[in-house]
Amino acid sequence: MNMEATHPFLPYLSTDYSRKILSEHYQKAGIAYPDTRSYATCYSFISHLKHGCLYYEQAQVAPLEIKPLLLFYGFIQLMKAIILTKDDQYPSNSQVLAHGVTTRKRKKTTYRFLDDEVKIQRNGLFSHFLFKLFHMKHVEGEKLLMKDLLIQIADLHPLFETLNQKKEAFSLKKDKAHILIPIDILDSYHMTTNRFTQFLENSIKDSSQKSRYINITETKDFLKLHSNIIGRKNHSPFLKDLNNNYYLFTERDKYLPFPEIASHYLLLYNLSMICRYETEWWSDLLSTFDGKDLPFILAFLDIVPKKSLQLFQELLLPAPSND
């Protein structure tokens, strides 16, 4: 495994550093004997990180035909490392090892990836990850379209806007301590400032899933709010790109009740299933360029290694008390 000096996971190859980070997570989670437990989980934690990065490295040089499979396997390993920061007993049973997602049966002639969907199951890795990292429950049975998952990734918005000829999100400005939201968002959402404040308060949750109090100052061109309301682990409803620029959708019904990292998992799961079991359709897509599917798939496969590492790194750092 080769890691550049700037790789975000490089420090975690030190057992001393990983134990320190794990102990801090366990202390914050109220896990008994955090130092002892960090010794017990440290090598498993590092192994998952190394294995995940190895899959990512191989995906970068692999043919496109099998790239989704390698990225998905790597993503799963990184997820398991992250879960160990909150669940020192993982895996405590076989249920949390299953993927926790299903795909529908494909229609061979009219199938379009963007209109395909995945369904979340009650048990499995996905639900366990959401519960342990984001305190999210009751996601069983939710069906999600690929195009609705892709649009949660702000880095893909330029492609959406080019192909669909429509603006997808408001770009937000930042100063030292504030986020500036264009005042036009009130018209787009059909809201007053007070109603928009309530919308943000209901959308932004702290670590206990309680709504956060928000104070908005209205100016001629912007709605101004303190930047510390954006959680490091879960930015919702704000979207963030690789360069740490923030956005809000132009249409409020585009939001999903999941953090962005969940969209990455569901998209990779479906793409890995397609390249394994729908090889005829997958091969045709890569050679015929039919429809809009291929540009979005290629863009996603390009961004996901970089973006997912950034999002996982945010989850690895022990969160402040209000996050």
Are residue 263 and residue 247 in the same domain, yes or no? no
Whether pLDDT at 234 is above 90? no
Residues constituting the chain: 323
Domain assignment of residue 207, yes or no: yes
Are residue 25 and residue 114 in the same domain, yes or no? yes
Residues 6 or more apart whose CB falls under 8 angstroms from that of 98 comprise 121, 123, 124, 125
pLDDT of residue 268: 98
For the question of whether the overall pTM of this predicted structure is more than 0.85, the answer is yes
What mean pLDDT comes out for the span 122-144? 87
If one compares 232 and 123, the residue with the highest pLDDT of the two is 123
Number of domains within the chain: 2
Asked if 101 contacts 124 with a C-beta cutoff of 8 angstroms, the reply is: yes
Q: Which domain holds residue 210?
A: 159-254
pLDDT of residue 149: 98
Domain assignment of residue 3, yes or no: no
pLDDT of residue 139: 74
Q: What percent of the chain has pLDDT over 70?
A: 92
pLDDT of residue 236: 83
Final residue of a structural domain among 208, 232, 254: 254
Write the pLDDT tens digit of every residue in 202-231.
Answer: 887 654 445 677 889 899 999 999 878 877
Are residue 100 and residue 130 in the same domain, yes or no? yes
Q: Where are the beta strands (DSSP E) in 60-189?
A: 101-103, 117-120, 143-145, 169-171, 173-174, 178-182
Predicted confidence band of residue 318 (pLDDT cuts 50, 70, 90): confident
